[in-house]
Amino acid sequence: MSNLNHTFILADHIKLALLERQRASSALAASAAAAGGAPAGDEVDAQDGHIAQSLEQLAHGVAALRDDEQRLRASGRADEADEIADALPALAKHLDTLTSQFHRFTAPSPAASPAPSPAPVSAPAVRFRDSSPQLFSDYPPADDDDGTAGYRDAVADMDNVQMLAYHDRVLEEQDDHLDRLGESISRQRELSMRIGDELDAHIDLLDDTEGLVDRHQSRLDRARRSLGRIAEGEENSRGMMTIVILIIILLLLIAVFK
């Protein structure tokens, strides 16, 4: 299910990239208002291009998962196909939501340049170094200042074969990053499951302790009632003995006076 995990990770990356884009746009607008000029949207435009490419990659990923579902179902691997089928509605909803958010961010600004047309499928669609650093905190941060210019410089002197090889290498590096991130997420999920099991065990232990306390309380209540009955019996016995003694004394007095 590597493709499924990668697609979910890509959706999270786009969401964080949109948040970063909104933050950068707000910062540019604030600085422009303070300076009394028009905001320079080069950074925002570059982010829009990367987000558009990532959205296209996400759409291709969802389509590829649909094809994988049909292929797995045709080959008799129904469990894996059902897992993909269960995840597809959520992924499609993520795609629609992120696309609408991206268009909403880019449409209101009349000064912003239009979002670039989607790049070909063979181009490296995901630029993780333009995303929020919190998502990939395990990796060293990349320089965001010359992302687009650096890419153009890297492929400027390449022919088609070299460019395809360069794209393949970039995609392989991104796949490696995604694999490591997926492994980290799997470890965190396993750790969360273990913590949940330990919490369940503690809850069971508390339930057993509560039951034991209830049983001891019941025994104490029965013992208290028994002591109460014994105390009442002793009081009744003392009263009876007093009456008998008084009767004997009375009989002795009667006998003496006669």
Domain residue ranges in the chain: 1-28+47-106, 157-257
Q: Which residues contact 241 (CB under 8 A, 6 or more apart)?
A: none
Tokens standing for residue 84: 């993909």
Q: How far apart are the C-alpha atoms of 3 and 88, rounded to whole Å? A: 12
Q: How far apart are the C-alpha atoms of 22 and 16, rounded to whole Å? A: 10
Q: How far apart are the C-alpha atoms of 142 and 150, rounded to whole Å? A: 12
- Asked if residues 9 and 178 have their Cβ atoms less than 8 Å apart, the reply is yes
Domain 1-28+47-106, CATH among 2.60.40, 2.60.420, 3.40.50, 1.20.58? 1.20.58
Nearest-5° Cα angle at 179, 6 to 116: 45
So what's the pLDDT on residue 138?
41
Residue in 75, 53, 55 with CA at minimum distance from that of residue 63? 55
So what's the pLDDT on residue 203?
92
Instruction: Give the up-direction half-sphere exposure of residue 184: CA atoms within 13 A in the CB hemisphere.
Output: 13
Note the Cα 58 to chain centre separation in Å.
20
So what's the pLDDT on residue 90?
86
**Total residue length of the chain:** 258
- Asked if residues 10 and 40 have their Cβ atoms less than 8 Å apart, the reply is no
Residue in 130, 179, 143 with CA at minimum distance from that of residue 16? 130
Q: How far apart are the C-alpha atoms of 41 and 48, rounded to whole Å? A: 10
- Asked if residues 2 and 182 have their Cβ atoms less than 8 Å apart, the reply is yes
- Asked if residues 155 and 163 have their Cβ atoms less than 8 Å apart, the reply is yes
**Which parts of the chain are beta strand (E)?**
none
User: What residue type is assigned to position 99 of the chain?
Assistant: T
> Mean pLDDT of residues grouped by 10 in the chain (258 residues)?
75 82 74 58 70 87 86 85 85 87 70 45 40 39 44 61 76 84 85 88 90 89 88 83 90 84
- Asked if residues 124 and 170 have their Cβ atoms less than 8 Å apart, the reply is yes
What is the torsional sign of CA 126, 129, 131, 132?
Answer: positive
Q: How far apart are the C-alpha atoms of 169 and 72, rounded to whole Å? A: 28
Q: Which residues contact 51 (CB under 8 A, 6 or more apart)?
A: 14, 17, 18, 21, 102
The Cβ of residue 153 has, within 10 Å, a number of other Cβ atoms equal to 10
Residue in 120, 116, 125 with CA at minimum distance from that of residue 7? 125
So what's the pLDDT on residue 132?
39
